[in-house]
Amino acid sequence: MTTGTTTSVRLTGITKSFLGVPVLRGVDLELRGGEVHAVMGENGAGKSTLLKVLAGVHRPDGGTIEVDGGEVSFAGPSDAQRAGIAIIHQEFTLLPHRSVAENVYLGREPVRRMQVDRRRMVADTRELLDWLGEDGIDPTDPVSSLSVAQRQVVEIVKALSTDARVLGMDEPTAALADHEVELLYDLVRRLRERGIAILYVSHRMREVFDLSDRITVLKDGQFVTCAPTSELTSEDLVRHMVGRDLGEYYPDRGVADDLGPVRLALRGAGNARVRDLNLEVRAGEIVGLAGLQGSGRSAVARAVFGVEPFTRGSMEVDGVARRVTRPRSAVRLGVALVTEDRKGDGLALRQSVRDNTLLVRRAALRGGRARAKSDVPALLDKVAVVARGEHQEVRFLSGGNQQKVVLAKWLAVEPTVLLVDEPTRGIDVGAKRAVHELLRDLAKRGVAVLMISSELPELIGMSDRILVMHDGALAGELPAGASEGAVMALATGHGVGEVP
Amino acid sequence: MSTLQENTLPAKQKATRATVHRRLHPTVIVYLALVALLVVGSVLVGLRGEVLLDQNGILNILTRATALGLVAIGQTMVILTGSLDLSVAYLVGLTSLIAAETMAGQDSMVLPGVLLALAVAAGVGLVNGLIITVLKAHAFIATLGVALILRGYLENNYTGPAGDVPRGFQHLGYDRIGPVPIAALLMLAVAALCWWYLTRTRPGYHMYAVGGDIEVARLSGVRTRRTIITAHVLCSVAAGFAGIYLASRLGSGAPYVGTDAGYDLESIAAVVLGGTLLAGGRGGIAGTIGGVLILATLDTTFDALEVDPFFKDVVRGVVLVTAVALYARRMVANRAHGRLS
Ligand SMILES: Nc1ncnc2c1ncn2[C@@H]1O[C@H](COP(=O)(O)OP(=O)(O)OP(=O)(O)O)[C@@H](O)[C@H]1O
Ligand SMILES: [Mg+2]
């Protein structure tokens, strides 16, 4: 890792179209060694595309890229790597079946006497992991045995191993829980001290204000502004991104009197991952489920939905005891699960937006309801999907818009119990607001919502009550508007709340 | 940074899980199955008062395994890369003809014959690779198309065996050390070479990467097209070796030696039986050789038992499906234990 505060990258007038549709329309960006430069913009604004141009993945249609004053052109990712540019993409770029070291050096394996020099690969990977203070990851472990947070660390090691002087990070915290985000901050700051130029894409305001020195805003593929972070307020930023003001608020909570019957109840339920769960969610309320990554939050949702069913205790849906052992039965009972892993569980990437939206409905319901297509536009509108049309394949949508399609797909079956796991991950501020309003609106219309989110402000802002999990069990319940400190205390196993 | 490790298991627990994992490795299952099969086969044949693994039996198994082994080694490479080759069977026939016709009974023409056959094989592999990478046709369709073209050529130009292999060259097919044919040893040498290539060299690493996730490979700077094309060329060359070997055994080239033996589907079956994921990215040569030996042992045992061909095919089908179901279960179990696949 060479230090050089003079390193700079300058993009001028970058344009890029996909099949004749312009995605980048003359974007300028300047990046200096030793700064964290945030790029913000709505879903589909072109942030990831810009990073991919810089990474040599896409060739720009027009405009120039200069590195240290000299113009460059990249024929592929390896050219960009040689120029000292490394990008951590929005989607994971790791092979689960291969070892950490093999992933880190993928495409650049050191060779000695015609063979891949495995010893050196492992040693160098270990050195980088040590430098990051990550001695819990062994370079010979398969990536499939690592947690999501550890995978993110491997992505970073992979980028650093190229001796990158310019590091692009596309929503690096989207898959991390709050406490893990702190660790990433630390890392980014250390890299900055080393004189590395960091391009940081994120939808989380707080992060951008904590970390960045300058912010560039894109809208519809166009450059809007670039200013030092200290000169911007979050209201300014939102106005630049969305083009109008959005106050800092969450939709009004329901009134306790409006609460309907208990829609979902768990009594002493448990399986291999969670135990002794007692909880009720009533029609009309949004119940937040908090906890650290690995505490069993998602496992609860997966169990209710029949993915990894409960093996003990009982579960009631609308007052009737039910044994749900597969998702199909759950859907039939009006239960829906919006998963956190949109690529793995959520979407058929090669199918159209419409087919994805109707996927569950067609699969689980019968008759005319299953065939209706006419309300697809309305559904997509509700969650503010930006797509070229209903027939565009989902894999060509921006990350945030894919997430919105997952939501639309579950709204299409009109659930009465809605489980949402990280529903706004990777969604821009404007759309996030839309999703929040949508969830509240559903609750008002009698849906019972169980919401999981690693973003505490969101969870606290949205929930009528908050259940906190620790180590596979409920640690306590907190009322609406509880403080972040109270939630974290329970989540880490220190605090006391009312045990439900 | 201690909190980041929250999800990892304590070291000891992790170690035990790793051993369980290793013990259940598909390659190990394959060889255990092979040993079990040899035992059961020996007992059944023994009940008839004969011996399965005598000099003749071993020779029989290894001879059957040689040609299929060569084809399956190549098939392993393309499947690992996330591709597939349905044209190998016709290519085996074609290369046997090219070798035998070029040799035309002269010892001096042995080397040219071999080289020409391999060159044509490489050419066919290159065409397969280019159709898949440049024209972006699915490997299934692309190689099926090439297979049909080869069939057309063979049907038009040959009615039966052609060419003549010099006596000296027939040694390749028939010489042996004890019960072990030289050709089988050569096949194992090719296997060892390919194993080394896949597990120790950069292009080999890249084949696993492309098969694992082509997009990830591309974003990491792997030249995905070159990798796929290389895999196809190597696969076809391996089929070429099989063709040359069969020419040496038959004494001439035969247009349908490859298809009569069903080397296209048979080689895919051997690869899958060997624990390689049909989707690519995981598996290897060692398993494939195990798969080939299992198929060869099954055939030899059935011949010794004189069971009827229909029953034979049923058992082969059952074995294949059972194996794949076993591997799939293992993967699901891994997932349930938090391994993401
Ligand atoms: N390979 C592709 N083919 C066609 N269209 C594409 C392709 N990649 C991106 N697009 C389109 O380009 C636009 C910008 O996408 P991009 O991924 O850059 O957005 P983004 O700003 O990163 O959004 P998000 O915040 O949701 O990640 C989107 O409308 C998307 O549909
Ligand atoms: Mg993006």
Mean pLDDT of the region B252-281? 93
**How far apart are the C-alpha atoms of A146 and A91, rounded to whole Å?**
16
A270 SS3 class? strand
The most confident of the ranges A285-299, A386-400, B30-44 is: B30-44
A95 vs B: CB within 8 A: yes
Top pLDDT among B10 and A466 is at A466
Q: What is the CATH number of domain A256-491?
A: 3.40.50.300
Q: A253-283 burial string, b = 16+ CB within 10 Å, else e?
A: bbeeeebeebbbbbeebbbebbbebebbbbb
Is the confidence at residue B83, as pLDDT, over 90?
A: yes
By CA distance, what is B204's nearest residue in A? A116
**How far apart are the C-alpha atoms of A487 and B246, rounded to whole Å?**
73
Does residue A465's CB lie within 6 angstroms of at least one atom of ligand 1? no
By CA distance, what is A53's nearest residue in B? B219
Rounded to two decimals, the ipTM of the complex is: 0.83
Min mean pLDDT across A286-300, B60-74, B114-128 is at A286-300
Nearest-CA distance A113 → chain B (Å) = 10
Top pLDDT among A250 and A297 is at A297
- How far are the Cα atoms of A77, A92, A213, A221 from residue A87, in angstroms, in the given order? 9, 11, 19, 20
Nearest CA-CA partner of B95 in B64, B63, B78, B119: B119
Residue B283 is predicted with a pLDDT of 93
**How far apart are the C-alpha atoms of A305 and A299, rounded to whole Å?**
10
Q: What is the pLDDT of residues A409-422, one digit of tens each?
A: 888 888 899 999 98
Q: What is the pLDDT of residues A45-61, one digit of tens each?
A: 999 999 999 999 999 99
Residue A215 is predicted with a pLDDT of 95
Nearest-CA distance A281 → chain B (Å) = 27
The pLDDT confidence band at residue A7, using thresholds 50, 70 and 90, is: low
A480 SS3 class? coil
The kind and range of the H/E element at A170 are: strand A166-170
Top pLDDT among A154 and B11 is at A154
Residue B16 is predicted with a pLDDT of 40
- Mark yes or no for CB contact A78/B221 under 8 Å: yes
The pLDDT confidence band at residue A371, using thresholds 50, 70 and 90, is: low
Which position has the token pair 């565009």? A392
**How far apart are the C-alpha atoms of A348 and A355, rounded to whole Å?**
9
A93 vs B: CB within 8 A: yes
- Chain B residues touching A190 at Cβ < 8 A: none
**How far apart are the C-alpha atoms of A391 and A372, rounded to whole Å?**
16
Per CATH, is A9-242 categorized as 3.40.50.300?
yes
Is the confidence at residue A5, as pLDDT, over 80?
A: no
CB pairs under 8 A between A and B: 103
**How far apart are the C-alpha atoms of A42 and A170, rounded to whole Å?**
14
Residue A396 is predicted with a pLDDT of 85
Which position has the token pair 């818009």? A401
Structure tokens belonging to residue B80: 């690992």
Is the confidence at residue B18, as pLDDT, over 60?
A: no
Residue B146 is predicted with a pLDDT of 97
Min mean pLDDT across A49-58, A402-411, B124-133 is at A402-411
Within 4-63 of A, beta carbons closer than 8 Å to B belong to: 55, 57
Mean pLDDT of the region B107-120? 96
The pLDDT confidence band at residue B11, using thresholds 50, 70 and 90, is: very low
In this structure, what are the phi and psi dihedrals at residue B189, rounded to the nearest 5 degrees?
Answer: -65, -45
Taking the CA of A46 as reference, the closest ligand is 1
Which position has the token pair 């492992």? A122
- Mark yes or no for CB contact A150/B209 under 8 Å: no
Does residue A44's CB lie within 6 angstroms of at least one atom of ligand 1? yes
Is the confidence at residue A187, as pLDDT, over 60?
A: yes
- Mark yes or no for CB contact B206/A308 under 8 Å: no
Separation of A222 CA from ligand 2 center, angstroms?
15
Residue A374 is predicted with a pLDDT of 64
Q: Which residues of B touch A (CB under 8 A)?
A: 1, 3-8, 200-202, 205-206, 208-209, 212-213, 215-223, 281-282, 334, 336, 338-341
Is the confidence at residue A245, as pLDDT, over 70?
A: no
Is the confidence at residue A199, as pLDDT, over 90?
A: yes
In DSSP terms, B157 is beta-bridged to none
Residue A328: half-sphere exposure toward Cβ, Cα within 13 Å: 5
**How far apart are the C-alpha atoms of A314 and A278, rounded to whole Å?**
9
C-alpha torsion sign, points A445, A450, A453, A456: positive
CB atoms within 10 A of CB A312: 12
Separation of A76 CA from ligand 2 center, angstroms?
20
The pLDDT confidence band at residue A20, using thresholds 50, 70 and 90, is: confident
Nearest-CA distance B9 → chain A (Å) = 10
DSSP state of A253: P
Taking the CA of A401 as reference, the closest ligand is 1
**How far apart are the C-alpha atoms of A112 and B106, rounded to whole Å?**
43
The pLDDT confidence band at residue A42, using thresholds 50, 70 and 90, is: confident
As a whole-number percent, the residues of chain B with pLDDT over 70 amount to 89
Taking the CA of A426 as reference, the closest ligand is 1
Min mean pLDDT across A37-51, A94-108, A120-134, A179-193 is at A179-193
A498 CB-contact burial (10 Å; exposed 0-12 / middle 13-18 / buried 19+) = exposed
Atom of ligand 1 minimally distant from the CA of A45: 21
By CA distance, what is A101's nearest residue in B? B205
**How far apart are the C-alpha atoms of A272 and A299, rounded to whole Å?**
9
Find which of A51, A106, A147, A158 to mutate to test the B interface (most B CBs within 10 Å of its CB).
A106
Q: What is the pLDDT of residues B161-205, one digit of tens each?
A: 999 999 999 999 899 998 899 999 999 999 999 999 999 999 999
- How far are the Cα atoms of A400, B63, B132, B243 from residue B176, in angstroms, in the given order? 65, 10, 40, 19
A118 CB-contact burial (10 Å; exposed 0-12 / middle 13-18 / buried 19+) = buried
Contact B124, B142 (CB under 8 A): no
As a whole-number percent, the residues of chain B with pLDDT over 90 amount to 72
Find which of B195, B216, B225, B332 to mutate to test the A interface (most A CBs within 10 Å of its CB).
B216
**Chain mean position to CA A402:** 11
CB atoms within 10 A of CB B9: 14
| Cα-Cα end-to-end distance for chain B | 27
Question: For chain A, what are the domain ranges?
Answer: 9-242, 256-491
Does residue A424's CB lie within 6 angstroms of at least one atom of ligand 1? no
The protein residue with its alpha carbon nearest to ligand 1, atom 24, reads A43
- How far are the Cα atoms of A8, A159, A199, B38 from residue A4, in angstroms, in the given order? 9, 18, 16, 66
The protein residue with its alpha carbon nearest to ligand 1, atom 10, reads A396
Contact A226, A26 (CB under 8 A): no
Nearest to A115 among B201, B223, B341 (CB): B201
Residue B48: half-sphere exposure toward Cβ, Cα within 13 Å: 14
**How far apart are the C-alpha atoms of A453 and A298, rounded to whole Å?**
10
The most confident of the ranges A147-161, A294-308, A402-416, B92-106 is: B92-106
Residue B41 is predicted with a pLDDT of 92
Structure tokens belonging to residue A240: 């630049």
- Mark yes or no for CB contact A55/B219 under 8 Å: yes
Which position has the token pair 């011949």? B303
Taking the CA of A388 as reference, the closest ligand is 1
Pocket test for ligand 1, best of A18, A57, A171 (most atoms within 8 A of CB): A18
Task: Round the average pLDDT of chain B to a whole number and report it.
Answer: 88
Residue A194 is predicted with a pLDDT of 86
Is the confidence at residue B10, as pLDDT, over 60?
A: no
Residue B14 is predicted with a pLDDT of 41
The protein residue with its alpha carbon nearest to ligand 1, atom 25, reads A43
**How far apart are the C-alpha atoms of A355 and B315, rounded to whole Å?**
41
pTM reported for the whole predicted model: 0.81
Structure tokens belonging to residue A194: 């080393």
